[in-house]
Structure 1
Amino acid sequence: MEATALQSPHTTATETTSKPVGKTGVLLVNLGTPDSPSVPHVRKYLREFLMDGRVIDIPYIPRFLLVNGIIAPFRAPKSAKIYRELWNENGSPLKHYGYVVTKLVQEQLGDDYVVQLAMRYQSPSIDAGLAQFQQLGLNNIVVVPFFPQYASASTGSVYEKVMDILKTWQVIPQVRFVNRFLEHPKFIEGFAERGRKYMNEREYDHYLFSYHGLPERQIRKGDVDKTVCKFGECCASLRPDNQHCYRAQCFETTRRLVKELGIPEGKYTTSFQSRLGNDPWIKPYTDDEIKLFAGKGIKSVLAFSPAFVADCLETTIEVGEEYRELFEEHGGEHWQLVESLNDSPLWIEAVVDMVKKS
C-alpha cells in the first residue's frame, strides 16, 4: 500500500509511474456529525470522537475515564441543544453538503470512478465506504480528507483508520491520500469568492480568520527534531522545516486569502477557536482577540473559517452566533460570517482536480 507524499503545491498524495487499471474508488471523508440532535446520538458521537487517541492524546485508561465519566455524560445535553439550533430541513449541514458534493464530484469524474462519502466518526462510516470498494473489486483508491490543513487529530486520524481497515484485507489495493490542499488555487478562490460577496456590500473595519485550535503538545509532537516549533515567528512562513505544523499551515492559508482579497496589513487577524480543557492550546485565542477589537476602534468584522469546507457547529454556531454576541457585548456593531465552501462550484472543481492529480 502506498501512502507517501507528493511534491505538488496543491496536494500531497502518491505518485504512480503508470495509470491505474479499472475503476478508481474515491473516498471523501469529513469529520462527522451526530445522526440526530438527540442527547443519546450526541453522546454516542462524542464518545467515538473523543476516544480517538489522536484527538485526546493521553493514555487509554485516563482517556476512557475522562470521556465516558465526565465529558460525554455532562456535555451531551448541552451539545444536543446546540445541534438542534444547527439542524435544518436537510438535517446536519455538514452531512447534507457532503452528499451534495459527492454527487457533483461523481458527475464530474464520470464512470471511471466510484465516489463515496464517509465520516471519520459516525455515519456513513469509513468501513462502509471501503467495503463497497472491496465488493466492487477496485484496486485503486484515492482518499480525500476534507481538511485543508494537515493535523494529526484530523487528517492523520483518517489515515490511521483507513490503514487499520485495509490491513485486514487479503488483497490490499493501491491507496493514495490527499494530505492537505490549502495551496490549491480553487480552494483559495472559493473562499475569496464567498468573502467578496460581503465585501462588495459594505466596508469592514477588520477581517478575522478563525481556525479550529489544537493543544500545543500536539504541535510539539510533530516537531520531530524539536528545533522548529516556537509558537511565534516560526509560523511567519511555510517552509520545508515547518510544513507539517498545523499552526504554520493556518497562517499560510490566511496569507493566501489576504493576498487574493487584497486586504491590507494590519486589518486582519489569524486566531484559533474551540479549545477544551486547561492545557495550553495554540494562540492567539479567537475569543480573546474579539474582546480587544472595540478598544482598537473596530466596529465591523467579516469572519472567515477556512479550516472547514462545510458549515457545521464550529462555523454557523460558534463563529456565526456566539462570537457575534461576544463582539457586540464588547462594543462591536456589525459581525458577518462568511459561509464555508459547501457546494461551491469552485470547491467541486478543486476536489475533482485533487482526485485526478493524486
Structure 2
Amino acid sequence: MGLHLAAIRLAQLSTPPAAPPPGEVVFYAGADGRLYRRPASGAAVVVSPNASAVLPADTVVTEDTRADVPGLGIGVTPGSYQLSGTIWATIDPGMWGTAWVGAPAGTRLTATYDLATTGDFGDGSDFGQLTGTDSSFAFAYPHARTAAVVLSGGIVVTEPGTVRLQAAHSRNALARAFDEEFGNLNEEAGCVYEWVDDIGHTAPGAVRVTPDDSGDDVIAGLSTQGGDIEAGAYQASAWLYSPMGWGQAGITITWWSNFDEELGSESEVTAIAAGTWTEYVINAAAPEGAYRATLRVVMLGAPTGEDVLYFDDVAIDSVGSQLTLAQGSFFCLTRI
C-alpha cells in the first residue's frame, strides 16, 4: 500500500515488460485487450478480464462538487460485476478530496475501500464500506502528500449506462453559512450571541452578537478542526452587518500548533457603515507547524448593548492548492 506516485507509470505494451525498474509498478494493456498489473517483482497478473478504464495522464480535480473524472468510465449493460481498482493522488497543502462510484439509476453497490497515505506527520490508513451509489470516501487529507485507495466489491446494474469514478475537492478549512440553528461558538467574550432567521447576508440566517455592557471588547470565535490547517496560503473572510455602524469592527485569524501554542495572528479592523453588509477579508500565510486556526469576529472600543453586530458566511480557504489524480489510476469491471 505504501506506494509513491513517482513510482507509477502507465505503459501501452503488447507483451508484459521483462522487468519493471526497481520499485516501479507498471500497468499495461496486453494484446488480448486485458489490463495487467506488474509489481516491482514477481509475475504480471490480470487486473480485469473484461472492461477497464485507466487514467491516461495526471488529472487535476477541478470541481468542488461531485463530477465525473474524464477517462474513468465504463459502459455497462444490466448484470452483476466484480469491481476493482486503485486511485493514486497527490495532495497540496490544505486540500481535501472525496470520491464516489457513479452508476446508472437502480444500481446496487457493495464494496470496500482501503486507503494509505504518506504525509508530513507520517503514514496513515483508513478503510470502510461503500453501499449504494451515493456512498463516498475521503481519499485526500490536509497534511497528506500522497494517497493510494484500493477499491474492491460487487455491483449489480439494472439499467444500461456508465459506471464511472467521480470526485470533488475542497479548499474549505472552515465554512459556516448559518442557514440553520447551530450549537455553540468556540469562544466568546464581552457579548452574548444567538442565531436569528430574520436577517442574513445569504438567507435565511445569521449570528447576532450583543455586547454585554461589560466595557470589554467583543470577541466571537470559530475554530477549524485539528489537522485542517497546515503551512501555506489562506484566505479568511466573513460578512458583517451593523444596524448603527461602529468605528472598529472586523476579523482576526490566529494560527495554532498541534500543542495549542499560538503561532501568530493577523487582523482586518475598520469602521463599518450602518445598515450595509460588509465583507472583511484577510490573505495570510499559515506558518510552519500550523495545525488549526481560529477566526474571530471582533468589535473594539467598549461597545454597549445597543451596538448589535451580525455576522454570516464565515470561511477559511486554502489558496492555490491542487488535488491531482495520477496517471495509471484505474478501475475495472468483471462480469460474474
Please tell me the TM-score bracket, short chain as reference.
Answer: under 0.3
Determine which structure has the larger helix proportion and give its number. 1
- Relative to the length of structure 2, the TM-score reads 0.25
Q: Give 1 or 2 for the bigger CA radius of gyration.
A: 2
Determine which structure has the larger strand proportion and give its number. 2
- Relative to the length of structure 1, the TM-score reads 0.24
